[in-house]
Structure formats: structure tokens, C-alpha cells
Structure 1
Amino acid sequence: MSGDHDASAAGPQTDETTGASATRPAHEPTIADVLVIKTMLNRSLRLPPEIIDTVVDLAEYWPHSSTEVLFNDGSVVARGNNIHTQGTGQENGFMIRTPPLGLRTWRRSLRKPNQPVDTTPPKPQPPGEEFSTDDFQNLTAAPPPMLAHPCRRIVFTIKSHDQGWGGDFANQGTYNGSWTWFEAGLERWCTRSPTGTDVVEQQAPQAQQPSLTLDDICTVLPPVEWDPETEEHDFKHPLCAADNLKVQSNVTAEREWKTHRVVWSYTDDIDPERDVEAAVKLEEQGRGKATGDGKFVRDLKLGDVVTLWAMARFGGWVNKVESAKIDVYYAV
């Protein structure tokens, strides 16, 4: 599948489309395309590998993975609770996960083989001791060695709306006061995962390399905490949106479907503490004010999995979704 990608995008942005097709590049390179270009540059110009890598990076000539989920009936993915329905709503709805960053494929050993890997809900397994970059090299989609941090850009494309009423009248039609939104998450394979008491450690995958099975993957974001009452691990979702993970909120009290295309790049450099004006603009676009620093993209490791969650808070607030897509671009 090819992804929505604006090759001219330079920096954090939110593209909103309401019907007209956005300009798309004529060509989305595959891994083979990138390797051919690198070989041509090496043979014709005799450039050193590090110079070739820099040229390809500056040209943004990257392969990518694309994952999409469709809700043809406009499903309610998240619903806020109130005092009468406390605990019965689904305030945090898992939507989709990407393939492991830079790796060949999943090893589809699910307990329910008929359940798609990209939409199978995660289990709250906390992270522990991590695999090294070398442990992933023989699983990469391109000839090794691949970079430890190969991600270059993430594009989220979401079509959604809220319940179409409510909130302060002054906020209606804007992103202010919206209590339905989307957050990014992170999954990662670890060699060890802590037990409930965090005193004794247990082996996660019994292998010398990551198993690439969902049974062994750990959740880094949202945080996973031990609940002493239930004696089980559970996801820890805060009441308010996380400024560094909030991909996009819905327009407040708007019934019409709206498509948001949000680009996170490794070159983004908006520090919300230093550049308050730019951070405010991100919030006005419905984004988290700390999502413009590029840190999430730059910190992604080889083999990491990006997830997307739909959120809703307080009674009456509903997050309805028609589709969601994540395109992840990476260097090889």
C-alpha cells in the first residue's frame, strides 16, 4: 500500500482535507529502489557510503510501511464515562499498530490466527531489559547493518468526528475544549519483563533474538502499572491528553466527518518552552503542544512498533472513527 506523503513537508504540520485531493508525489520508493540509487551513486560518482547516505536522506528518498484500519459504519471507538456509567465506557480505544520499524515482517503466531496483527488489542505487559540493535539485524528488510534509529517521518491520517454537540458554545467549531482525541503509543520487544511485584524477573521470549510475536511484545506507551487490587498489570491512561503524544483532537461539537493528516518528522525542532508561539499554534490545530520537537520520531529504535489510540473523556463525549492510517518512513 502507498501512503499519503508530502515530499515538501519540512517541519511539524497538520493538513486538513475536506474533499479535494492533496498533491501526492509521483513515486514512493521501495527498499529495492533506494538500494539501486545508492549503488548507482557509488558506481558512477565513487562517493563514500556516508556521503551517499546523506544525499539520500536530504532527498527524503525513504521506503515506508503503511497500515490502515477502516470502520465502514463509523464506529464509536471511544466513549467518555459519567457518574452514572462509571467504568462501563470505553474511554481508551486501541485502534492500530504499525509493522516493526525496518524489519521484514511479523511472525504471525497469535493465539487467534484469524485476528489481524495490526488491530489485535495489546495486553498490558511492561517493558524490561531491551534487545540490542544487533539482535534485530538479521530480521531487517534491507541488507544489514541498519541504523539503530532509522525512523524519519510518521504520517497519521485520521477521519473522525465527535458526538456533534456539547462543550462551551465559544469552543464549538474549534479544537478548544475538545474531549475526544487520538494519542500515539509505543510497543517494543524485550528480553525480560518484570513480574507484578517487580522483585523477580522472568524471561519474556526464550530466544537469542526477538520473536516478533504479539505474545512477547511489551508496551512502553501508554505506561503499564501493577494494580495491587486486581493483582494484574494495566494500562495507565491519564485524564487529560499527553502534550507529547496527542496526535490530533476532533473539532468540538462537529457532526461532519473531517480528515486530519498529521506529519511528525525527525527534523522537527519546536521546543514548547522556548517557542511558545509555535507551540500555541500546534494546540490551535488540535495537536499536543509538545509534539513538534521531533523527539518521538528520533527516539524510535529498530524494531519498534507505533500504536494509535482513540480517547474520550466525560459523559456524552464520543469519538467516532471512519478510518485511520499510519505511514512510517525510515532510512536504509
Structure 2
Amino acid sequence: MMLPFVHRLRGVRRPLDPAGNNNETGASSKEEAKTSENDTYYPSCYDVLKVRYLLQHIWKWKRDSEELFPCELVDMIVDAADYWATSESSLEGETTIRKDQDQVLLTTVPLCYAVETLRSDSPQVLPHRGAHPCRKIMFTISAHDQGWGGGARNKGPYDGSFTWFDTQIIHSAQKPPPPREEPIQEKQRAHFESGDPLLLPSAHKLQSNRTADKNTQLHRITWHYLDDIPSDSSEAEEIENSQGRGRATLDGSQVRALEVGDAIQIWGRARFGGWINHVERVVVRVFWAV
């Protein structure tokens, strides 16, 4: 029974990008991204539990002893190997976001919940380790702006970009919304006033589009629980200018703070006349410790 399992452990895994972000241009990069994702092996909860069982018992089997390998050391081995359970949420097909027409592009599966049970009265919690089990979040975004406009871009290719993406944490997302006597009439905001925190891209943005570039950009962004780049550092400033990421998203705090049941919403935004956020694809994969 162990042979198929051993074979699965030898599956292909994507090497991590040291910079935490990988930007590519053009339609071919989108197809390559899909191919790469299809070729990547992501373990299930059951896979991780089997590996943990083997690691704990191999000590007993090899030493002919009743003593199991310590759980703390198993945790360290599994985390060092990035061998975590995952869930994926995706948006396929083009979405166009014009001036001040902010839009939720997708909401991830609540952390550590089985997606097929979310509509039931008792959604199933999947195996996890600790109250803050999230270890890594991978974002893949294919998008571009209108292809013209913007300033001199003295700080890099993202300088002066007014099309971008934000994240929002939804707590206890596995719970159904409370019943309301009257339906909520959602109104589209027509204008963001000066001083509004959502008027311009902030240090907490997920990703900006390249400024005035009509070619589709493929952005791969990775948040890791061990990230530790302070937002006020020169390294954070360099990443923000060269990669278009928010400088306040580089310290890993967003990942470490996620709790079981939390979900992540991805917002697409555009500001000022003529600016258009052309979104072609968004994929979010969330990893958690078991």
C-alpha cells in the first residue's frame, strides 16, 4: 500500500522565486503559467497526514522501540519542506474595471474548510495545526492597464499607476450572513473624495499594473509566514518600485495573522478618467500547516 504513496512524494514542486515575485509579459506567459500550475504537485491534507505518520513511526520501526519521533521535530521537518495542505480559488475570463468601479474579483475558500461542505449547515473543518495555521499564499494575476497615460515614471515601471489590486480579510467566512429584513441596495461609488484611504494605491496594496503598458502582465506574488522585510526599509522601497508590490505586505504579518475560517477577497481598482484595469485571470492558492 505504501508504494503509490512514495511515488506521489516524488512529484514535481515549483521552486520558490527568491524575490517573491515574478513578472512576465504577453500571452505566452499566461499559457506557460497554466502549464506550470498543472505540472505542480500540491499535497492534500491526507497526503500530509500520511507523511507525518511515517515520520513519527519510522523512529519506532528503525529502533525497534515503542518511542515515537517527537511531534515538534515532525513539525519542523514538514515546515522546512513546505509540505502543507492547500486550497485554490480562481477567476477566469476578462473583467474590465473603469474609473472608481472597484470590484471584488474573487473570495478564497475559508482557511482550513472543505469547499464542498460550505453550503451545508455544518461546514467541515479540515485538519490543521494551531490557531494560525496559514504558512503561505500565492497570488497569480494576469492583467494590464489601458496602455497610455501616466507620468515620467522616475521611480520605475509602476510609478504613477492608477490601476491596482488590494486584499481584504473576511473573518469567519464559513458562517452564513445573518438574515436581514430588507435586502441591501449596493450602490456603486461614483467618486472617491480627497483623503479617502481608497483613493490611491497604498503601501498595503497587493500589486499594481505596469503604468501605460497594454501588454498583459503576469504577476506572481508570494506571501510567506517567515517574510520579515520592514515596510520602512530600503529593500521594501526597492521592491515596491521595481515590482509594483505594496511595501507593507513584505513582513509576513498578514499570513501569520490569518485564523481558521478567514477568507481573502481580491479587489480590482482603477482611478481617474481614462484609466482601465483589464483583468484576465486571478488565482490564489493558500497553504496551511497540518
TM class by smaller structure? 0.7 to 0.9
Deviations 1:236-261 (Å, cap 9, x if unpaired)?
Answer: 852122312x1111011111111111
Quote how far apart the aligned CAs of 1:160 are: 0.5
Equivalent pair of 2:142/2:216 in contact (CA under 8 Å): yes
- Corresponding position of 2:76: 54
Q: Which residue of 1 aligns with 2:103?
A: 93
The Cα of 1:284 is off from its aligned counterpart by: 2.1
Q: Of Structure 1 and Structure 2, which has the larger fraction of its residues in strand?
A: 1
Q: CA deviation at 1:164?
A: 0.9
Do the aligned residues in 1 keep the contact of 2:110 with 2:174 (CA within 8 Å)? Answer: no
Q: 1:212 aligns with which of 175, 179, 189?
A: 175
Q: Are positions 1:156 and 2:139 aligned together?
A: yes
Give me the whole-angstrom Cα distance separating, in 2, the residues matched to 1:27 and 1:5.
5
Which residue type is aligned with residue 13 of structure 1? G
| Matched-pair identity in % | 36
Question: 2:207 corresponds to which residue?
Answer: 248
What's the TM-score, normalizing by structure 1?
Answer: 0.68
Change (3 A) 1:211 1:255: closer
Which position in structure 2 is the counterpart of 1:323?
281
Cα distance in 2 between the residues matched to 1:304 and 1:37: 26
1:182 partnered with 2:161 = no
What residue is the counterpart of 1:65 in the other structure?
A: 87
Q: What is the match of residue 296 of structure 1?
A: 254
Q: TM-score, normalised by structure 2?
A: 0.77
* Structure 1: stretches of 5+ with no match in the other structure: 81-88, 110-135, 190-209, 218-235
Question: What residue in structure 2 maps to residue 79 of structure 1?
Answer: 98
CA displacement, residues 287-308 of structure 1 (integer Å, 9 cap, x when unaligned): 1111110010110011100110
Which residues of 2 match residues 21-170 of structure 1 at below 5 A?
21=32, 26-45=40-59, 46-71=68-93, 74-76=94-96, 78-80=97-99, 89-90=100-101, 92-105=102-115, 106-108=117-119, 139-142=124-127, 146-170=129-153
The CA deviation at 1:175 is 0.7
Equivalent AA in structure 2 for residue 269 of structure 1: D
1:130 maps to none
Relative distance call for 1:186 and 1:211 in structure 2 (3 A) is closer
Quote the Cα distance in structure 1 between the aligned partners of 2:247 and 2:288.
Answer: 24
Q: Deviations over 1:273-295 (max 9, x none)?
A: 2x223433233210111111001
Q: For residues 330 and 211 of structure 1, do their structure 2 counterparts lie closer, same or farther at Cα, with a shift above 3 Å needed?
A: closer
The answer for the alignment partner of 2:23 in structure 1 is 16
More helix by share: 2
The one-letter code sitting in structure 2 at the alignment partner of 1:303 is G
1:271 corresponds to = 230
* SS of 1:290 mapped into structure 2: helix
Native 8 Å contact 2:156 2:242 kept in 1:
no
SS at match of 2:175: coil
Q: How far off is 1:188 after superposition?
A: 1.0
What SS class does the counterpart of residue 247 from structure 2 fall into?
coil
Across the aligned residues of Structure 1 and Structure 2, the Cα RMSD in angstroms comes to 2.8
Shift in Å at residue 184 of structure 1?
0.9
The answer to whether the 8 Å contact 1:270/1:279 transfers is: no
| Alignment match of 1:307 (pick from 265, 268, 274) | 265
1:76-99 CA deviation, whole Å, 9 max, x = no partner?
Answer: 1x211xxxxxxxx51x11110111
Taking the aligned partners of 1:280 and 1:64, their CA distance within structure 2 comes to 30
Q: Distance in 1 between matches of 2:148 and 2:287?
A: 37
Check conservation: 2:104, 2:267, Cα contact below 8 A: yes
2:119 aligned partner, one-letter code: R
Give the whole-Å Cα distance in 1 for the aligned partners of 2:15 and 2:215.
Answer: 29
| Corresponding residue of 1:226 | none
Amino acid at match of 2:158: Y
Q: Is the 8 A contact 1:176 1:284 kept in 2?
A: no
Q: How many angstroms apart in 2 are the aligned matches of 1:28 and 1:260?
A: 20
Aligned length: 247
Aligned to 1:42, the other structure's residue is in SS state helix
Distance between the aligned counterparts of 1:54 and 1:295, measured in 2? Answer: 20
One-letter amino acid matched to 1:212: K
